[in-house]
């Protein structure tokens, strides 16, 4: 998918700078969605279940 987008980017850069900028923005947005998805999964994985008591640090 990204290889075809990069080919399209090269072709578009020869034609119009606006299309070039829009393709760069779409590539950045797609990577942003991937990072947000991974972060959401990590937060849900490490989150404490509802109703569990808060963790208390050991007191010395």
Q: State the pTM of this model.
A: 0.54
Instruction: Find the distance separating the first CA and the last CA of the chain, reported in whole Å.
Output: 56
C-alpha span between 10 and 20 (Å, rounded): 8
Q: Which of 19-23, 34-38, 43-47, 50-54 is predicted with the least confidence, judged by mean pLDDT?
A: 50-54
What rounded mean pLDDT belongs to the chain? 81
Domain parsing of the chain, residue ranges: 2-46
Q: Percentage of the chain surpassing pLDDT 90? A: 20
DSSP string, 1-60: -HHHHHHHHHHHHHH-HHHHHHHHHHHHHHHHHHHHHHHHHHHHHHSPPTTPPPP-PPP-
Give the pLDDT mean for 55-59: 65
Section 1-20 average pLDDT? 79
Angle at 19 between CA 30 and CA 33, to 5 degrees: 10
């Amino acid at each position: 998918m990204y290889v075809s987008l990069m080919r399209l980017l090269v072709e578009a850069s020869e034609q119009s700078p606006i299309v070039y900028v829009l393709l760069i923005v779409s590539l950045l947005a797609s990577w942003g969605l991937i990072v947000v998805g991974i972060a959401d999964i990590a937060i849900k994985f490490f989150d404490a279940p509802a109703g569990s008591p808060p963790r208390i640090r050991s007191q010395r």
